[in-house]
Every structure is written in structure tokens, then in C-alpha cells.
Structure 1
Amino acid sequence: MTEYTSELLTLLASRGHLHQVTDAGALDQLAAKETITGYVGFDPTAPSLHIGNLASIMLLRRLQQAGHRPIVVMGGGTAKVGDPSGRDDTRQMLTEEKLASNIASIKGSFEQILRFDDSETGAVLINNDDWLSELGYIEMLRDVGTHFTINRMLTFDSVKLRLDREQPLTFLEFNYMIMQAYDYLKLSRDYGCRLQLGGSDQWGNIINGVELGRRIDGAELYGFTAPLITRSDGAKMGKSVDGAIWLNEDILPGYDFWQYWRNVDDRDVGHFLRIFTDLPLDEISRLEGLEGSEINAAKEVLANEVTTLVRGEEAAASAQATARETFAGGGAGNDLPTLSVGEEGMRIGAILTELGFTASNKEAKRKLAEGAVKLDDVPVSDPGTLVEIASGAEAKLSLGKKKHAILTR
């Protein structure tokens, strides 16, 4: 691994965040002698971020830990266009009201992970709609558009892959890279921002911003990307059989969030501890060296550390207690999802689908036939079984070893 003089690049490289960087030597020297302002953009296309976004938030956390100032840019303006990077289809158009609602819902995740204050290294959260929506179309074309050639834009992966697959790319989306580049120019002028960070799929967009700042203002700007996080089995990070692993508690319960990390592949433990926690590297080396059943202790550390970072200590402790009671003691912890079957009860197949344990009644029937479903630890195989709960009582429903819920009246 390359040795750096600055705490910033040393930290990013040692924790596994480094993929590509523009002029690493110059950035290293700059970070070693002065406080750098850097930013990451997040388009508010949903009411919560997911753990794929968490990797980018960690870039800002590392920036702040190394004594620099992070800027969170909420893409209220760019989200009106939609980033075509890594997509085969056009993003759904969101209303102003929906974007504002999403931003309000997302802000808490940043406030949990970053330090926002008035100090030199205090994080700042801003919305690029504040300046993008004020730009006139002709003004944008004259001042910014002249610095982009169609020839070059067609070579970037976000455009090239869509065209190669013969998938439509709208003229609206084609403007996304220009808007993101203008963001960097604006942040350079108004905040002295010198560094943009992001996932490796953003490299082309970041380079455009670096070059635009140099061409218009003669600014020395830098770009940094982290590798896109994938699991050891090749699957995309942040997905489970039930969908995205959301950061917000109101969308994904704390127990389910904790369980995702507790159930990662043995081979991913060390890598994820470096990326998503602040544990010392020597302790991570010790944990990832555990073998056999002992690796489960390392997975619990991972689950606790990430859940504490994203949801807080109380959420992590509660989820761990629920897991131990459920798996070790045969009980039913407080954090398990709960479903009321009502006074008339519900068929067990419908319950499985209602909880999201199965995607359809057909899948529920298959799981029941396989003997994967238990009610209070007793196997159930008939999808027509009527589950009735007495007033004030409850029952534990289990699908396999990892999915559990509490049924009430």
C-alpha cells in the first residue's frame, strides 16, 4: 500500500476506502498542511438512505476524523433530473413536495454519524436546488455548456452503458453530469471546497467537476472515489432477500438492521469492520482471524458497532438482547416485528406474506411444505391453518432460523 504523509489519505487507504484519486500526491500534500473542505452528494430519491449510501457517508466521517470539513449536498435539484449512472431505466420523476419530504426524513442519518457545529471542521448540510433552480437555461448553456463536448460525454460509463444496451437515455438525464459539475464549481466558489468524494460509479461525474473548475476559475480541485461495496458472493452490498437495508428506523426495524450485519458472510467481516466502523485496525485483524463458530462473536461486534453508529447505542443493545433471547433462550425479544391477527384470526400463509417473510402466498405454501415454518417452535405445514390468539396473549412465528415475529390479537 502506498504510504501517504497526510492523515486523511492514510486513513482512507488503510480502511479500504481508496479506489481512485486525482493527483494523489498533490492532494496528500494539501491535506497535510491545511484544512480541506470536501463534499459528497446524495439525491433524495427515497425517504431513507440505505447501507450502500452509508459507505459514502463514511467517507465524510473519515474526512472529519482526519481534521477536515465535510459538506453534505442534498440533491434537491439534481434529483429532479436523475442520475443515469448504473441504470438501465429512467428514474421516476418526483414532485417538489416529495423531494422536500425525503430530505427532511433523511437528515437524521447524517446528524447521527457526522458532527454538525460551527467549528472549522463542523459538517454543513446544503441543498443544491438552492442554486440549480435559480439558473436560467440560456445562462447555463452559455457559461457552463460550452465546456462540455458531446464527443466526450458519450464516452462516460453513465451514458455509454445505457446506449450500448440500447436503453433510452433522455435529454434530461444527459444534463445530469453538467449539473453535478456545476455543483462542484459553486461549492468551490462559495465554500472553498477542494475535494469531491463518492463511489467509483461517480468517477466520470467527479472528473467533469474537477475540469470545469479548472477551465472556468483556474481552481485546483480534486476527486476521490471509493470502491463500490460488494459482498464476497458478488452480490451488491445493501440488498437482502426482502430489499434494501434502510438506515431509517421507521422503514426498517432495528432488529432487522442488526440482523443483516450479524448474518454477513464470514469472509466479509474484516472488510466491513474496516469500512463501516471505527474499531482499531489491530482489533479488526484479531476479529477477522477468528475461525469456526468463534467468527460469530466478530459478527456480533460488527452488528453492534454499525447499529450503534447508525441507530444509537440503545437500538444496538435492544437488538442484540432480542437476538440472544430469540435464538439462545427460545424466547421472543421485544424488537421482533409484531402483527395483530385480529379477533377472527388469520391463515398462516397470509400471515407470512403480510409480514413480508414471503413474497406471495405461493411462496408461503412452499415454505410451509418444506417444514420451514414454526408457531411457538412447533412446525406447521398446512397453509390453511387458522392462527387465533387469545386476548392478551401472543405467539412467536418463525421462518427458518433468521426470521421471527410476534403475533398478537
Structure 2
Amino acid sequence: MCADKVRDQYEEFPYPTRDLADERRRLITGSPSHLAEINHYVFGGRLDFTQPFRALIAGGGTGDAAIMLAQHLSDADVPAEIVYLDLSTASRAITEARAKARGLSNISFYTGSLLELGDFGEFDYIDCCGVLHHLPVPQDGFASLARALKPKGGLGLMVYGEFGRTGVYDVQAMLRDLVRDGESGTDKVTLAHKLLTALPPSNRLRRNPLVGDHLSSDAGLYDLLLHSQDRAYTVPDLVDEIETAGLRIASFIEPLRYDPALYLRDKGLLQRLEGQGLAQRAGFAERLAGNMKKHIVYCVRQDNDEETVAGPVGPSAIPVLRDAPGPEFARNMPPGAAFSASLDGLDFSMPLPPLARDILLLCEGRRTLDEIRKALPGAPDWFRFKPQFDAVYKPLNGFNKMLLRFASA
């Protein structure tokens, strides 16, 4: 019955709302499932783009992940098959139209549930964003995805974060009290608008500047406040679900956001956290920041004992800027500039080393670290260059701006 309600919701209100004309102007990108991220966090930067690649978009919605990944794979000439799966035929139709507008032929479309993947085989990569937290028993979904994963494959997941969604569940509960049996989706949306208008300034949702989906469209309002099945996760909750399914977290996105050292300057406090693992530190950072409304993670199987996250460990690593080529990123950067970033109301500024601009001007996605070193003014030796690069890489990778691949990939 719950699956029927979820399906009916997205038949009437496909989400997120997408304009087909946008396909001529831009490619909507995000995390997870950006191809450079998949290579960096799941395959150690060594994904062989000449080999066939199978990906599943489980609960694909209106197609952002499917279209982004299909376009990236097409641009890289990867022989790929992307399987799009969703309960909603309306959402599927939107995604198919977007793919047609782009001339993408590497997506196969299916209507169905991610709980029933037996006939689809195994995948190198699975994307599941904004879906697991809508299942009656989310662990059934985690387990289903884990079973469909190849031994060395990986998952990109997004689930709601509890602390950043303050007030959402208060309003959901009030609307459940107000909605009457038999009312249409449009009736419910009208009722929700009336309630939102009546919320006093003290209401927790009104006081939460992090949540705005209900302000963008009726589909966004329904998804946020009228959903029939919805839960949020703390980091410990999410880690437990992942590990129970036989998976482990390779990385949170953005990595530095889940590091207490981003927020704390007191060395004594940080020393007390030394020795904690990734999950413990991430849980502490979540409570410290208090603003995480979603969690994005890359996962691999627990029996995959390889180091799946690429690192700048030698001269053959190739830095790749995620959002713009290095020269474009660095063009207006004065010498001695800092790297600035904002995360849901928190602003950060991190110093960069003297050679930062010169290094970034050479990071066009093809040069190895050694080639960058040799092209720098004066061609500094490796032992002078490497600490400078590391001081560039740490903040940019920490905010998911710089990734790595290797020459063989």
C-alpha cells in the first residue's frame, strides 16, 4: 500500500521539476554519480574507460543522475549501459524526453522497484538518491542494492540528514492531522500553502533557512511536507544501515565537511578525537555543524579490501578539477589567495601556498603531477613541489573540487 501511495505521488507530482528546454543550455550536475567522482572514490582513479561499464540508477526520478552520468560516459566514449528504474511512469517519461533531446542512446528504461532487481544482473556502479528514506523498511533497499553490486563496484547514495531538516517533520505531522481521506493531491497542496502562511515566526520550519524545497514548486512542497513515507538519518544511523548490508563507506561528500578539524581550532579538543575512525569523526562533525540536511556517501562492499579512494601518492597522479578546468578556476586568483567555500550557512576560508595559482593554471585534467612540476617556473624538485601541491589538494579535495585519476585511466 505504501509503495502505491509513493508511486501515485510521483505520477501526479514528478520531482524535481525539470524544463526540457534546459537540455539545450546546460547539463545539470551534482553528487553523487559525477563520473570523475566515481573514478576517484570508487575505483581509486584507475577506472579503465575502454572497458564496458554497467550502471543502475535506482529510483531515477526525473533523471538528473541518469542524464548526467550518461552524458559523461558518452563524452568519454565509454562503452556503457545505464539502467534507469523508477516506479513512476510520469518521471520516466520526463527522463526519456531529456535523453532524446540530448541524443543519448546508452540508457535503458524500466518501470519497477529497486527491491526487485533479480533480473537485471550485476552492476559496476549504482546510484540511489533520495529513495531509500522513502521505503517502509529502508534496510530492504540497502540489501537489494548491495546484492546487485559487482565485487569491485560501488554505490553513490543520498539520504536525508536529520539535523538540517529541523521543523520539516513538525509540519508533516500537522498536515497529517489536517488532511481528510479522499482529498486530492491538489487539495493537499492548497491546504499546505494555507498552513505555511499561518506558521508563526517561532515555528521551527520558518526558522530553518536551510530548507526551501517547498518554496520552489508544488512538487517540491509535496515531496518535502506531504510525503506518505519519509525518514531522516544521523551519521550513526546511516553507517549502521550500510554496514548491515555488507557495505562500507569509502567517503562522505564533501569529505572535509565530515572532519571535525574543519570547525575546531582548539588543538586540545582535536587531540581528544585522535584515533577515531571515519564514522566516529563524521558523527561528531555532524553534531558540531548542525546543518546537514542530507548525507551523500560513496560505498563499496566490505569484502573489497582495496583502497578505493585515489590519493596524490606519486608523480603519475593527474589532478582533475570537478567543476571547471584549473586554468579557468585560477585565472582571476591573485598570488597568495585563499580558497573560500560556503556550506549551508557556514563560510570557510583556507590559505593556499605561494605556488597555488601556478599549479592550478596547469591542472587541465591531462597533465600528471610530475608534468605539472616540470612546467612550473624554475621546475622545482619533487620535494619542494609536493608539499605545495598537497596544500592545494587538501582544501580543494576536501570540498570536492579537485579529484584524481591516473595515466592508465
* TM-score, normalization by structure 2: 0.31
Q: Which has the higher contact order (CA 8 A, sep 6+)?
A: 2
Q: Which has the higher helix share?
A: 1
* TM-score, normalization by structure 1: 0.31
Is the radius of gyration larger for structure 1 or structure 2? 1
